[in-house]
Amino acid sequence: MAPQVKEIEARSILTPQKMGALSKHYDFALNPYAGCAFGCSYCYVPKFPNARHEPAEWGMWVEVKTNAPELIRKDRLKVFGSRIFFSSATDPYQYLELKYRLSRRCLEELVRYQPAQVTMHTRSHLMLEDLELLKSFGDRLQVGVSITTDDESIARKFEPNAPSIARRLELIEALSANGIKVYASISPLLPCNPEHLVELIKPYVRRAWIDQMNWTEVNNQPALLEEYKNFFARENYERLCRRIQDAFTAAF
């Protein structure tokens, strides 16, 4: 079933980061879309008090902030010298980007106003269509690519509408080859062969962010947590996370 898509005009696009995990490293979060059609079962976004829908509906709606580029232009003084996380609550390169090109247009505005740092986070190979634009940020840009398992069948269960593992590896390789700082976001770690997962990623990245399956209360596929409960059992799970993290020696 295709997600419901609604075009909206947002009141603001740069969300100040005054508390929470991002606040230590970023001044603003930027989300050109609300909601995400990739429908990852474990997504933490529905836990927020201002979530628009019930967790079970996550992946079935997207709001397109059609005026996002104009809002960046309006707030350009905030952009200068700031640290921006793009995006914290959606995937900026979900497939609707092919129609709206919102992330591209936001990047075109950002690069004009010289932020100190931009971190992008995606699991989509569609980012490659903006490769030259990304390169124009130079050292001010880094990209986190979400790759949570080496097993495509597992990815289809937990991340039903997201691009394949092969596509994500293609993105990681291309970003690295073009001199763009890239890290692997293994968050959360899903059932996998940890040695093989490291083998797939390590040729292209020195850093990996790894995290566990958190916020299970908003997981919209609780049957999967039961099916793979042995993998997610705390002692085993923590051991596997440490093993993978130890394979990447660069500080995050």
For the record, the structure tokens of 167 come out as 């596509």
- 36-45 residue pLDDT tens: 999 999 999 9
Check if the beta carbon of residue 192 is closer than 8 Å to that of residue 151.
yes
Residues of the chain with pLDDT under 70: 49-56, 250-252
CA distance 126 to 228: 31
Mean pLDDT of all residues belonging to the chain: 94
Domain 4-246 has CATH 3.20.20: yes
Residue boundaries of the structural domains of the chain = 4-246
CA distance 49 to 159: 23
Q: What are the helix (H) ranges across the chain?
A: 68-74, 76-79, 97-100, 102-112, 131-135, 152-158, 165-177, 194-201, 222-227, 229-232, 234-246
Q: What is the DSSP letter of 65?
A: E
Check if the beta carbon of residue 148 is closer than 8 Å to that of residue 159.
yes
- 42-71 residue pLDDT tens: 999 988 866 566 666 889 999 999 999 999
Collapsing DSSP to helix, strand or coil, 126 comes out as helix
Check if the beta carbon of residue 142 is closer than 8 Å to that of residue 183.
yes
Collapsing DSSP to helix, strand or coil, 221 comes out as coil
Q: What is the DSSP letter of 129?
A: G
Instruction: Give, rounded to a whole angstrom, the gap between the first and last alpha carbons of the chain.
Output: 38
Q: Using DSSP bridges, classify how beta strands 33-35 and 28-30 pair: parallel, antiparallel or unpaired.
A: unpaired
Sequence-ordered list of residues with C-beta below 8 angstroms from that of 217, at least 6 positions apart, any chain:
47
Closest CA to 160 of 43, 38, 36, 44: 38
**C-beta neighbour count of 242 within 10 angstroms:** 11
* Cβ-count burial 99-135 (b if 16+ within 10 Å, e if not): ebbbbbbbbebbbebebebbbbbbbbbbbeebeebbe
Q: What is the pLDDT of residue 251?
A: 59
Query: Residue 136, preceding bond cis, omega within 30 degrees?
Result: no
Q: What is the pLDDT of residue 54?
A: 62
